[in-house]
């Protein structure tokens, strides 16, 4: 399984992805699921992937034209004029890769080669954009009503984002919020695991404003994880107490 979140704030984009891949609980590996291409001062584009690892690696490899000799490669994403066009290219590429693999194996409908990709970034002269690309090749864009996308094991960590999100929050608070969401997910599902990759794309910076890998000995993440249990208990006790004998019964 996987857990990745992309969140759009007024001040920019906050991205976070775990690194666990598993084929059964006895076959666990660490793979990066966050991929970035940037031309500092002009554009930054980051992808986060969930689903079949062979499929998502094939998408990344084709974007980087790894079938060609190194000096003939020309990354598609670095020339695409708009983020909308970037999402379109990635959608088409992914749909083709999944389609080929399904056809070769005689799979119909949504088969086991399926994958989803969150696409985030900003190109000079345009707004920061956040897309969710589906295995069918189509995609949706984040809006004021739906300002974040999750892929993979999305449910455990969703309530805290719904409750904590504020589009005016600082980018630092955005990182903190997603860390709490990841901590809730890690506590509930073995197939999502540390280390976690963090990236912040500040508005109009056209490069990663902040990048960090949270590993097992990360003192800040440990403090959040330990503190959140107590903070939740305090929150719980701050609510009015229930009584079996109530006036409004």
Q: Which is nearer to a copy of itself, 20 or 101 (CB)?
A: 20
Closest approach of a copy of itself to the CB of residue 212, in Å: 7
Rg of the Cα trace of the chain? 20
Closest approach of a copy of itself to the CB of residue 234, in Å: 7
Could you tell me which stretch among 100-108, 116-124, 133-141, 176-184 binds a copy of itself (CB under 8 A)? 176-184
Please write down the HEC assignment for all residues of 68-89: CCHHHCCCHHHCCCCHHHHHHH
231 binds a copy of itself (CB under 8 A): yes
Could you tell me which stretch among 51-59, 66-74, 138-146, 232-240 binds a copy of itself (CB under 8 A)? 232-240
Contact 165, 149 (CB under 8 A): no
Strand pairing category for 115-123 and 129-133? antiparallel
Q: Which is nearer to a copy of itself, 108 or 236 (CB)?
A: 236
Query: DSSP of 39-56, one letter per residue?
Result: ETTTEEEEEEEEE-HHHH
22 strand-pairing partners? 28
CA 227 to chain centre: 24
* Interaction site with a copy of itself (CB under 8 A): 155-160, 162-164, 171-173, 175-177, 179-180, 184-185, 187-188, 200, 209-210, 212, 218-220, 223-224, 227-229, 231-236, 238-244, 246, 248-249
């Amino acid at each position: 399984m996987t857990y990745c979140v992309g969140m759009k704030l007024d001040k920019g984009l906050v991205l976070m992805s775990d690194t666990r891949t598993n084929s059964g609980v006895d076959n666990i590996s660490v793979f990066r699921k966050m991929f970035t291409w940037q031309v500092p001062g002009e554009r930054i584009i980051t992808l986060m992937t969930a689903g079949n690892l062979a499929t998502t690696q094939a998408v990344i490899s084709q974007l980087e034209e790894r079938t060609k000799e190194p000096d003939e490669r020309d990354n598609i994403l670095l020339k695409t004029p708009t983020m909308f066009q970037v999402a379109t290219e990635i959608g088409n590429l992914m749909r083709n890769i999944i389609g080929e693999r399904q056809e070769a194996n005689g799979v119909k409908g949504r088969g086991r080669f399926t994958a989803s990709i969150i696409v985030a970034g900003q190109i000079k002269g345009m707004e920061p954009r956040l897309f969710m690309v589906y295995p069918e090749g189509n995609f949706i864009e984040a809006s004021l009503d739906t300002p974040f996308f999750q892929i993979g094991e999305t449910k455990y960590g969703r309530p805290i984002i719904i409750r904590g999100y504020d589009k005016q929050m600082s980018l630092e608070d955005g990182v903190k919020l997603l860390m709490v969401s990841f901590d809730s997910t890690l506590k509930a599902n073995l197939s999502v695991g540390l280390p976690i990759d963090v990236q912040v794309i500040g508005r109009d910076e056209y490069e990663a404003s902040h990048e960090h890998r949270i590993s097992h000995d990360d003192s800040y993440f440990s403090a959040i994880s330990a503190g959140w249990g107590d903070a939740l208990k305090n929150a719980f006790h701050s609510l009015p107490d229930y009584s079996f004998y109530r006036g409004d019964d």
